């Protein structure tokens, strides 16, 4: 068997090595208090729920979860571009007063050669794989405090139902070991589509020519 590169068709076979990781964040141990620690992490906004949050405090928890999700995306893309796929936020019901239970999604990195295999997690454990590094960065977000001015759903504000407020999302759990153990990251083997044979030089007579 032989792999022949489709050079004449101008197909981009020499792309960087991508990689696919699945992530699951179990949030049942995270704070449910109506405080800066509550809300967990989620991309779901108050407007996405079938039943909207019934109080401003509950809506603020939703905004805190969104802020953590935004910060997670920012910190993960420092090393390489990526995209989120197959995202599944799981709640006990579609009512906005309920906190998220699990957030599962896939991460497709454009070039995971740039993703390190070293570092120290928030619980003091050592990073030895790329999956460890991804988990470390997510745990870093969930154990850190962020403040940002955001638009918050406000069921008491009248016709607009919107407030602009300073939202602070603090650490979701004070037990860093439990926090790290709540995050599972696994690489999906076989996802890499660029084999070494696909990156070989073109065969005789197949060099691309200008048109």
Q: What is the pLDDT of residues 73-110, one digit of tens each?
A: 999 999 888 999 999 999 999 999 999 999 999 999 88
Rounded to whole angstroms, how far apart are CA atoms 81 and 109? 6
Name which of 177, 103, 82, 105 is nearest 139 in CA terms: 177
CB atoms under 10 Å from CB of 155, counted, come to 15
Average pLDDT over residues 180-199: 74
pLDDT value for 69: 96
- pLDDT surpassing 80 at residue 52: yes
Contact of 49 with 99, CB cutoff 8 Å: no
pLDDT value for 38: 97
Contact of 185 with 135, CB cutoff 8 Å: yes
Lowest mean pLDDT among 52-56, 61-65, 111-115, 177-181: 111-115
- The string of pLDDT tens digits covering residues 20-46 is 999 999 999 999 999 999 999 999 999
DSSP annotation of 182 reads T
Average pLDDT over residues 38-67: 95
Instruction: Please state whether beta strands 19-26 and 183-187 pair in parallel, antiparallel, or not at all (unpaired).
Output: antiparallel
Q: Which two tokens stand for residue 172?
A: 């979701």
Give the containing element (helix H, strand E) for 179: helix 176-181
Give the containing element (helix H, strand E) for 130: helix 130-142
- pLDDT surpassing 50 at residue 199: no
Confidence of residue 10 (pLDDT cuts 50, 70, 90): low
pLDDT value for 13: 52
pLDDT value for 3: 47
Q: Which two tokens stand for residue 48?
A: 């996405």
Q: What is the pTM of this model?
A: 0.82
Q: In 3-state terms, what secondary structure has residue 126? A: strand
Rounded to whole angstroms, how far apart are CA atoms 162 and 53? 12
Q: Which two tokens stand for residue 195?
A: 């084999």
Rounded to whole angstroms, how far apart are CA atoms 61 and 66? 9
- The string of pLDDT tens digits covering residues 121-135 is 888 888 889 999 999
């Amino acid at each position: 068997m032989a792999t022949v590169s489709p050079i004449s068709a101008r197909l981009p076979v020499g792309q960087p090595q991508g990689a696919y990781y699945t992530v699951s964040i179990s949030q049942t141990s995270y704070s449910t208090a109506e405080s800066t620690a509550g809300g967990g992490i989620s991309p779901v906004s108050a407007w996405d729920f079938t039943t909207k949050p019934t109080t401003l405090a509950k809506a603020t928890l939703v905004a805190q979860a969104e802020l953590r999700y935004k910060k997670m995306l920012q910190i993960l893309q420092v090393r390489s571009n990526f995209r989120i796929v197959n995202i599944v936020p799981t709640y006990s019901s579609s009512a906005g007063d309920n906190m998220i239970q699990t957030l599962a999604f896939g991460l497709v990195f454009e070039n995971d050669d740039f993703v390190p295999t070293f570092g120290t997690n928030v619980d003091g454990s050592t990073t030895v794989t790329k999956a460890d590094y991804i988990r470390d960065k997510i745990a870093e977000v969930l154990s850190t405090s962020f403040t940002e001015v955001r638009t918050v759903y406000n069921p008491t504000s009248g016709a607009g139902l919107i407030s602009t407020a300073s939202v602070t999302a603090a650490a979701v759990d004070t037990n860093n070991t439990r926090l790290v153990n709540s995050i599972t990251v696994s690489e999906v083997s076989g996802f890499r589509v660029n084999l070494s044979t696909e990156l070989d030089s073109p065969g005789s007579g197949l060099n691309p020519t200008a048109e």
